A and B are shown apart, each in its own frame.
Chain A
Amino acid sequence: MMSSRVALALLIAAAALAASQAAIAQTAISPPGRLLASNCFQCHGTNGKGPGFDKLAGKSARKLFKEMKDYQAGKEGDGIMARHAMGYSDAQLRELCQWLSQQRR
């Protein structure tokens, strides 16, 4: 008979596996950041590849995030892009910038 400690460890491992599989399935169906980033597509093109304003696909996530924070802080004027940037939390910006950075130019 299995010791209860081994059984528990197996159970935890199985649960972790199931959770990570669910996470992988979820990620495959809808990669994090993609749906958020789709708010940029109307003005910057599908997947940030144009036609439209500046292309966003494949830019570094750090640079994109900084640009968005600059827009939020009013360092880039009070245009439509600045107002748009003000609509997101930092966590949302990180996710969508990450996703955009992974798109081929």
Chain B
Amino acid sequence: MQAGSSKARVLVVGGGMAGASVAKYLRLWGDSVDVTLVEREATYTSNIMSSLVLTGQRKLPSLTYRYDTLQRRYGVRLIVDNVVEIDPVAISIKLASGKRLAADRIILAPGIDFDPVPGLGESSRMPHAWQAGPQTTLLAQQLAALPAGGVVAITVPKMPYRCPPGPYERACLIADWLKERKPRAKLILIDANPDIAVEKENFRRAFNELYGGIIEYRNGVDIISVDPAQMTLATSSGLVRADVVNVIPQQRAAALVANTGLATDKRARFAPVDVLSYASSVAPKLHVIGDSCATTQPMAGQMANQQAKICADALARIFAGQEPDSAPVTNSACYSTITRSEAGWMTAVFQYDSASRVMKPAAASAAASQGWTRKNFEEMNTWFDALMADTFA
């Protein structure tokens, strides 16, 4: 921060769950910070709830959020542009328009990028639909066109990826829809992980009891390459052919994070941070929140929102010459659809462990629902609206 009364300047890159939350809370929690949010899209489309678009239960417009309130109520300045470069020394960014902006701190919240899938190229025949938008619509159309007795394949990437229960809940949702709409159709769930990664009891039970004749779960299988012309997948356990293929690729922090030299975790995929302030471990005036950072916490929207609050509070203190809170707490909460009208949930509260300097789940709080209910499905809608309002309104 500059001396005197001038406000500290913060640039936020990416206006998703993490970036929108941090812009809001930096302004809500003090008027001494000047916040500019740079987002490449004019509106945000929520990934959360987007699998319900595949079964026709939601439309994408109902998952679209605007930046008006952040600007009007909180005084966040918005620039709709693509950030192409970050200078970790000068603390500045370059936009696609050529413009350069400097700040006291930069918060990177650009989410994830996908690894290229060998053989896929630019084909749109095997969408991931793991970043809600045109790909979601595409996959919905492909499912609608599935022939009677057809086969759907979904691939689960190796952990860590965004929304750990996501691929399993998507499989359940689609299987429930197939039951009614596409008699005799099958769904092959090809998991690169050794076993169902989270909420195992619920998903295993659902696969067996609800979808025994529909879902075929294959664990510990890697995708070697795909052939969109033949609609085949070459896997470590043989060739799979399907009519609709949803390839969810391996994930890493958005390219911008790696290009800035921040993606230095073990596999050089995500950005290690100090979880007291989310300052990058390699460039302390750059902060990384949400799915781009490497922590012990799950990559989820609820978590991205809470990391944003920790970061906003830490920056307010830092600008005032103080230390960040030494005992931050975060939480994750995910409702997972098991059928088109019933859901389960999993949650955990994370406490800072000063000895290891990482966030650790408080044992009693880390749990999943026993089974699934209609009430949970209704609660999911309440939770979603609350979370999105806490982030964008």
Contacts and interface: CB of A to CB of B under 8 A. Distances in A.
Contacts of A85: 365
A10 B319 CA distance: 31
B190 to A, nearest CB: 30
Most buried by A among B328, B333, B348, B351: B333
A29 B313 CA distance: 8
Interface string B252-270: 0000000000000000000
A75 interface: no
A25 B322 contact: yes
Interface string A36-62: 101101111110001111000000000
A35 to B, nearest CB: 5
A29 B389 contact: no
Contact of A87 (B305, B320, B365, B393): B365
A21 interface: no
Contacts of B316: 29-30
A45 B169 CA distance: 26
Interface in A1-41: 25-26, 29-30, 34-36, 38-39, 41
B382 A52 contact: yes
B347 interface: yes
A42 B306 CA distance: 8
A52 B322 contact: no
A94 B128 CA distance: 45
Contact of A92 (B25, B310, B329, B350): B329
Contacts of A83: 347-348, 364-367
A78 interface: yes
Interface string B368-389: 0110000000010011011101
B317 A30 contact: yes
A42 to B, nearest CB: 5
Contacts of B30: 29
B317 A87 contact: no
> Which 9 residue pairs of A and B lie closest in terms of their CB atoms, listed nearest first?
A87-B349, A52-B386, A87-B365, A86-B364, A87-B362, A86-B365, A38-B309, A42-B387, A83-B367
29 contacts: A25-B320, A26-B317, A29-B322, A30-B29, A30-B317, A35-B309, A35-B313, A42-B306, A42-B333, A42-B383, A42-B386, A43-B382, A43-B383, A43-B386, A46-B390, A51-B382, A51-B386, A52-B382, A52-B386, A53-B382, A53-B383, A80-B347, A84-B349, A84-B365, A86-B349, A86-B364, A87-B331, A87-B351, A88-B329
